[in-house]
């Protein structure tokens, strides 16, 4: 099987690498999706930090949150080293600033705007030699695209270019608790190479965070639901004991 | 009581109006491109330079070009120029130039992490800016706005008309005069009539092409309360400027 032939991008999150049989196939563009508070941002950041620690340049493109605030949150983690940022192994980019520079401070993007944005992201990845990329969130970019065709064009174009450069990408997708499917617009999930669903589960009064790999091109993987624990040493993943659990997205 | 008037700078036109322009009046001057509205505006400004505070608001020319033109006709250049064009270039167009460069070539790597703008820098509202400039004028004064098109193209039409109303009220109160230039036949009727209603005097400049060359017409389209003064004149450009001929 292709399983062994494709190079892996180890997430550095022990449980997740096991589920994925070694990591995310390199160059994949995957969607991490879930409602708020399910740990998408934290897990993505950990993925980047582990990459940076292994010497891979990692970039975090933030749409809604100021990078300074994210860094502040990271300091509490034992595996995090501020030096990664000083050495530019871990790079934070504020997309709002990029919007201003590209004249994209508007509510609706044209197809031209979409292409300019993709080109800019690709250019940064290429010139800075980025190996791991997180865009948080793809939903807030798609919000400005006016049609499903534009969203499709955006993610396909971006995914193709990044994959050609061997950059492994996580697109964070915000999901409304009431949403059907795995993404806000329904388009993202169809195009992504992989989908990791994060959710909440109520069990005897406790609210558990859960993680489930729905699909991942280029590798076999477990499709079971696991429990996720956010600790100071990072994300811990454990098998889910199903008794008495109720889905609570 | 006789109205106090000031000269427009063209004797025959003064005569045809009310022995000049009554203080407090707002004149709207429109014309086709090439008909000489900008020259008219300068001649009007120069006519007040001796005895009035003249403010010349321009959106298209450089200060030095305005002064050079005025000097070439031998006019008094003792006027204050407010150059919206230069300001606009500096504050807005320059930014747009950089944006279009970035859009074309992408943001250079060393620029990615530089702050995109100083957060405290306010957007300049040129409409507010000129209204403020004008409110500072001491009487007697004369205001020239060349041209209103800049504002009509960059701001909400209703806001432009409202600002014009403020400027007019200011001129009425202090007995100043205002000349506003505007392109003809390019705006919706609502805007056009809003502006025409505000104007006490409406002048139009027109050129007619004939086998022998251009014939230039100056039309008095409206004089408030004096419909009998409407009329058509010919004009020509002499070494001393625009001259109305009977």
With pLDDT > 70 as the criterion, what percentage of chain B qualifies? 96
| Number of independent structural domains in chain A | 1
**CA A35 – CA B103 distance, rounded (Å):** 34
Q: Which residues contact B237 (CB under 8 A, 6 or more apart)?
A: B36, B39, B216, B243
Per DSSP, B9 falls in state S
Q: Is residue A162 part of a domain?
A: yes
**CA A195 – CA A223 distance, rounded (Å):** 11
Nearest chain A residue to B106, by CA:
A120
In this predicted model, what pLDDT tens digit does every residue of B36-60 receive, in sequence order? Answer: 999 999 999 999 999 999 999 999 9
pLDDT tier, B61 (very low <50, low <70, confident <90, very high otherwise) = very high
Q: Over range B64-86, report the average pLDDT.
A: 94
Cβ contact A103–B103 (<8 Å): yes
In this predicted model, what pLDDT tens digit does every residue of B98-154 receive, in sequence order? Answer: 888 999 899 988 888 887 765 445 567 888 888 888 988 889 999 999 999 999 998
Say what the pLDDT of residue B119 is: 45
Q: Is residue A240 part of a domain?
A: no
Nearest chain B residue to A123, by CA:
B106
Q: Is residue A16 part of a domain?
A: yes
Mark the ranges of chain A whose per-residue pLDDT is less than 70.
1-5, 242-245, 248-249
Whole-prediction pTM? 0.69
Nearest to B116 among A97, A116, A127 (CB): A97
Nearest chain A residue to B102, by CA:
A102
Q: Is residue A175 part of a domain?
A: yes
Say what the pLDDT of residue B115 is: 77
Say what the pLDDT of residue B241 is: 94
**CA A91 – CA B19 distance, rounded (Å):** 73
Residue among B1, B8, B3, B2 nearest B201 (CA)? B8
Q: Is residue A88 part of a domain?
A: yes
Q: Where are the alpha helices (DSSP H) in B106-236?
A: 109-112, 126-135, 148-154, 157-174, 189-198
pLDDT tier, B198 (very low <50, low <70, confident <90, very high otherwise) = very high
Cβ contact B99–A120 (<8 Å): no
B5-85+124-245: CATH architecture:
3-Layer(aba) Sandwich (3.40)
Q: Are B136 and B55 in contact (CB under 8 A)?
A: no
Cβ contact A101–B116 (<8 Å): yes
Q: Is residue A215 part of a domain?
A: no
Count the helices and strands in chain B (H runs, E runs). Answer: 10, 11
Domain boundaries, chain B: 5-85+124-245
Q: Where are the alpha helices (DSSP H) in A30-76?
A: 40-53, 67-74
Q: Is residue A25 part of a domain?
A: yes
**CA B83 – CA A7 distance, rounded (Å):** 62
Instruction: Give the three-class secondary structure for A39.
Output: coil
Chain A CB contacts of B109 below 8 Å:
124, 127-128
Give the domain extent around A143. Answer: 8-196
In this predicted model, what pLDDT tens digit does every residue of A173-223 receive, in sequence order? Answer: 988 877 777 887 877 787 889 999 999 888 888 888 999 999 999 999 998
Q: Where are the alpha helices (DSSP H) in A11-132?
A: 14-19, 40-53, 67-74, 83-86, 95-101, 111-128
Q: Which residues contact B232 (CB under 8 A, 6 or more apart)?
A: B217, B218, B219, B220
Say what the pLDDT of residue A4 is: 54
- Name the helix (H) or strand (E) containing B42: helix B37-48
Domain harbouring A39, CATH code: 3.40.50.300
Say what the pLDDT of residue B20 is: 94
Q: Which long-range contacts (CB under 8 A, 24 or more apart) does B227-230 make?
A: B229/B16, B229/B17, B229/B18
In this predicted model, what pLDDT tens digit does every residue of B6-39 receive, in sequence order? Answer: 999 999 999 999 999 999 999 999 998 889 999 9
Q: What is the ipTM of this complex?
A: 0.73
Mutate to test the interface with A, among B96, B102, B103 (most CBs of A within 10 A): B103
Q: Are A34 and A175 in contact (CB under 8 A)?
A: yes
Cβ contact A100–B116 (<8 Å): yes
């Amino acid at each position: 099987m292709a399983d062994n032939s494709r190079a892996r991008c180890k997430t550095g999150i022990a449980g997740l690498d096991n589920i994925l049989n070694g990591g995310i196939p390199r160059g994949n563009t995957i969607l991490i999706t879930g409602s708020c508070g399910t740990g998408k941002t934290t897990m993505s950041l950990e993925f980047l930090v582990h990459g940076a620690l292994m010497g891979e340049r990692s970039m975090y493109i933030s749409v809604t949150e100021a990078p300074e605030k994210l860094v502040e949150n990271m300091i509490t983690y034992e595996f995090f080293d501020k030096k990664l940022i000083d050495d530019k192994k871990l790079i934070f980019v504020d997309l709002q600033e990029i919007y201003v520079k590209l004249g994209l401070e508007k509510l609706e993007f044209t197809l031209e705007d979409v292409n300019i944005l993709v080109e800019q992201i690709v250019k940064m990845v290429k010139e800075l030699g980025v190996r791991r990329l997180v865009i948080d969130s793809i939903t807030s970019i798609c919000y400005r695209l006016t049609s499903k065709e534009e969203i499709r064009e955006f993610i396909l174009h971006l995914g193709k270019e990044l994959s050609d450069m061997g950059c492994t990408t996580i697109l964070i997708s915000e999901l409304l608790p009431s949403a059907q499917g795995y993404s806000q617009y329904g388009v993202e999930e169809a195009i992504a190479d992989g989908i990791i669903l994060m959710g909440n589960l109520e069990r005897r009064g406790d609210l558990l965070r859960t993680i489930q790999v729905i699909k991942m091109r280029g590798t076999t993987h477990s499709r079971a639901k696991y429990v996720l624990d956010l600790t100071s040493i990072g994300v811990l993943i454990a098998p889910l004991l199903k008794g008495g659990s109720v889905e609570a997205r | 009581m006789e109205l106090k008037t000031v000269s427009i700078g063209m004797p025959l036109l003064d005569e045809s109006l009310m022995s000049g322009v009554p203080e407090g009046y707002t004149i709207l001057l429109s014309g086709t491109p090439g008909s000489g509205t900008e020259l008219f505006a300068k001649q009007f400004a120069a006519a007040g330079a001796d005895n009035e505070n003249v403010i010349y608001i321009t959106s298209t020319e450089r200060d030095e070009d305005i002064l050079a033109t005025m000097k070439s006709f031998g006019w008094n250049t003792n006027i204050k120029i407010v150059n919206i064009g230069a300001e606009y270039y500096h504050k807005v167009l320059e930014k747009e130039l950089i944006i279009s460069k970035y859009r074309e070539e992408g943001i250079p790597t060393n620029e990615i992490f530089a702050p995109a703008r100083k957060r405290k820098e306010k957007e300049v509202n040129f409409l507010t800016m000129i209204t403020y400039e004008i409110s500072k004028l001491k009487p007697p004064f004369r205001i020239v706005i060349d041209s209103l098109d800049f504002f009509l193209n960059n701001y909400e039409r209703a806001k432009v008309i409202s600002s014009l109303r403020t400027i007019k009220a200011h001129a009425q109160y202090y007995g100043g005069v205002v000349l506003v230039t505007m392109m003809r036949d390019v705006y919706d009727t609502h805007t056009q009539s809003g502006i025409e209603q505000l104007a006490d005097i409406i002048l139009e400049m027109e050129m007619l092409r004939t086998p022998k060359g251009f014939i230039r017409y100056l039309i008095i389209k409206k004089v408030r309360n004096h419909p009998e003064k409407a009329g058509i004149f010919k004009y020509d450009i002499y070494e001393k400027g625009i001259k109305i001929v009977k």
